[in-house]
Amino acid sequence: MITMAIISNPFIVTGKIAPEYFCDRKNESARLVKSVTNGNNLVIISPRRMGKTGLIQFCYGKPEIENEYYTFFVDILHTSSLREFTYSLGHEIFETLLPRSRKMATLFIQTIKSISGKFGFDPVSNLPTFNLELGDIDRPEYTLDEIFHYLSKADRPCILAIDEFQQIAKYPERNIEALMRTHVQRLDNCHFIFAGSERHMMQEMFLSSARPFYQSADILELEAIPAEVYIPFVIRNFEQRGRTIAASDVEKVYALFHGHTYYIQKTFNESFANTPEGEKCTSETIKTALGNMTASNDTIFREILSNIPEKQKELLYAIAREGEAKHITSAEFIRSHSLTSASSVQSAARKLLEKDLITEINKVFSVTDRLFAMWINQLHGEKLNCI
């Protein structure tokens, strides 16, 4: 009987990435590890799905971190109040420590008094369970204080990563940034990673002298994985599994998405899945993958457009058409895209930036989501002939 080894897809798009499937990030991970092991806090800024979470998880798996620290990762994108923040943080800390240290789990109950009465108990293990309702936290500020106090008593140093950290600036309660800053400053056995994808807001929080977190952390702007590393990574992963792919096709996909990690992973995940062993991944296979990606986002993209006023939409389309748009208020740009005036472009740009639909780096504007840009251009009849 012939047994065939199941070849797993090397282009990971969900969940944890095993180190052998993790591409590059050598300098960035060295910086992260150095920063936190030297007692500093680190800010990581990048567009969504460029690889912040992946980088943090990758570093958490390194022996010098894993064996020495308690590591936590809490994503607060969905939270809109201090109470929700406190809940998410408490939940993450409790669930991480429960399986690792019975002592720390017990200490949790003893320290977080404001909510411990509401904990359940697992009848089999006789350990507490974190099955609170949001409403059980009736004094979030107090509970948060207890949580940080608990971390200060941990029997190992801690690293706490807070993803989409800019969210705290949107909570309705006053002075949350100042409150958080005080806790962060006070905890000397706990180092923080503040990740965020709203560049504008994150920079304001950490670079503006009027804000509590001003200059309190090193800043890492996570860019695309360089083409000279990413392209060979893709080719090698095909070849090691008995398939081939033309370097020029990989280059085109890289260029199409400007190196955006998720979209590249997604394109090659699907292209790989559709390439039988012993064969070549053709440009047709890649085109099909790209077509499926735009199609599966169709509803979402239409909905986004339906909420944008016409003037902003016109500018968004113009920027999508250009790819990288310079001098957007120049007469030339306004004329060639039939826009109204420099002042209307300016106010539309401000609105689009606020909504994070476009990104500005050194006066060059682009549509933040490259797939969205591609979809907009298709909407206007552009074919995918770049592949």
Ligand X SMILES: Nc1ncnc2c1ncn2[C@@H]1O[C@H](COP(=O)(O)OP(=O)(O)O)[C@@H](O)[C@H]1O
Q: What backbone phi and psi angles, to 5 degrees, belong to 159? A: -125, 125
* Secondary structure element (H or E) that encloses residue 365, with its range: strand 364-367
**281: which strand partners?**
245
Per-residue tokens: 259:
């190196």
- What residues have CB less than 8 Å from 311, skipping those under 6 apart? 340, 344, 347, 348
Identified binder of ligand X from the candidate list 9, 12, 141, 301, rule CB under 6 A: 12
Q: Is residue 53 a contact point for Mg ion (CB under 5 A)? A: yes
DSSP per-residue letters across 128-150: EE----GGG-S-HHHHHHHHHHH
Instruction: Pick the stretch among 50-58, 97-105, 212-220, 240-248 that binds ligand X (CB under 6 A).
Output: 50-58
Q: Is residue 54 a contact point for ligand X (CB under 6 A)? A: yes
Q: Is residue 267 a contact point for Mg ion (CB under 5 A)? A: no
As measured in angstroms, the least distance from the Cβ of 53 to ligand X is 3
Q: How many residues bind Mg ion (CB under 5 A)?
A: 3
Q: Is residue 41 a contact point for ligand X (CB under 6 A)? A: no
Q: What is the dihedral of CA 238, 239, 245, 247, to 10 degrees?
A: 110
Residue 195 vs 352, nearer CB to ligand X: 195
Distance separating alpha carbons of residues 160 and 225, to the nearest angstrom? 25
Q: Is residue 71 a contact point for Mg ion (CB under 5 A)? A: no
Helix axis angle, 140-152 to 82-97, nearest 10°: 30
Q: Is residue 23 a contact point for ligand X (CB under 6 A)? A: yes
Q: Is residue 167 a contact point for Mg ion (CB under 5 A)? A: no
Q: Is residue 267 a contact point for ligand X (CB under 6 A)? A: no
Instruction: Pick the stretch among 98-106, 203-211, 258-266, 295-303 that binds ligand X (CB under 6 A).
Output: 258-266
Residue 41 vs 53, nearer CB to ligand X: 53
Identified binder of ligand X from the candidate list 41, 166, 261, 267, rule CB under 6 A: 261
Q: Which residues bind ligand X (CB under 6 A)?
A: 12-13, 17, 22-25, 46, 48-54, 261-262, 265
